[in-house]
Amino acid sequence: MKQPQQDQTSPTLDTINTRTGRNMPQAIATGVLLVVVILGCLLVKPDAFMLLIVCFMSLGLWELRVDFATAGLDIPILALWVCSAGTILAMFYGRDHVLWMVAGVFLTAVIVTICASFQHRGSRRLERAVASKLNFADSLPNQSESGSITEGNPPVVRVNSRYANVSVSLLTVVYITFLANLIVLPTTFGGHPVAHGLISVFLPAVSDIGGLAFGAWLGKHKLSPRISPKKSVEGLLGSMGLCIIAAGAIFACTYPRQEWAQIWWVAVLLGAMVGITGTFGDLSASLIKRDLGIKDMGHLLKGHGGVLDRVDSILMSAPFIAGLLWVTGL
């Protein structure tokens, strides 16, 4: 008598996994674990949150190095690790946080440019990771100019030139180093490090959840089918609505009650803005993956792919969140 019930459950779960494009039980378990870790760091001390971002940033830099290497592009990972971590530490502990951040990112860009000009791939570990990526990419269907799926290998152009290495290295400095600093920056001003940390990390995550849930439930109008076929207009609207609710909840739990009447509109604006920027971050990462001919940035997070697959919306939302919190004086 139990077998028919399992047969009914399995197709439903398979359908959900297919529509969302990920293993949902694994994704939910991984998401809960990340929430616990991040929230624990924020509640313990802002320094712990900053160090956690440094760790995630270092893992993301390695993932991006492997991803670029699949197209014959090499970035100086050691220089990026050292300079990026040093920039966040200097920004966080320096007296003028913005000045230290700008100086650190500029210095990182200069050092990375010099190192990328003489970069040579040689790590066996990197070669194995690249081989694994390429084997997986070769099994993916190709997409024609019209957006329809055709059989064949992805049209990845593999290059190996000094100028190309410098270009993608500078892109990495902006995309990872600079934006990761902006995730931490809001915890250094305003006197509400927990609230600002929650806004910087969890609002973009809520945007992902809203887009995933509403897109799978109501999605009919494709947002950008050539870049990400699963993104829909309904998913975008769901992201914005859920982010507005989440922003209101964060404000209610972290700011004094007597201030709510003056700051409620900031929560509404933050939610709507992050719903858009989070979706744009997902689309930007999808565009990079399509150009490289890969499905996921990495494989470290079960059900989510890599670290960058999880934080792409967080990274892209960081400058807008930091800017709005700074301008409004929160």
For the segment 202-230, what is each residue's pLDDT rounded down to a tens digit?
Answer: 898 888 888 777 776 776 777 777 777 77
Q: Which single residue is written with the structure tokens 């001003």?
A: 189
Highest mean pLDDT among 133-137, 143-147, 281-285: 281-285
pTM over 0.75: yes
For 94-108, the pLDDT digits (tens) are: 989 999 999 999 999
The residues spanned by each domain of the chain are 25-328
Q: What region, left, alpha or beta, does residue 20 occupy, with left being phi > 0 and alpha being psi -120 to 50 degrees?
A: alpha
Q: Using CA atoms, how far apart are residues 240 and 277, in angstroms rounded to an integer?
A: 10
Tell me the range of 2-6, 88-92, 279-283, 284-288 where mean pLDDT is highest.
Answer: 88-92
> Mind listing the pLDDT tens digit for each residue in 146-196?
333 333 344 444 555 788 889 999 999 999 999 999 999 999 998 889 999
The confidence score (pLDDT) of residue 148 equals 35
Taking alpha carbons only, the member of 294, 306, 299 closest to residue 153 is 294
- Cβ–Cβ < 8 Å for 91, 177: no
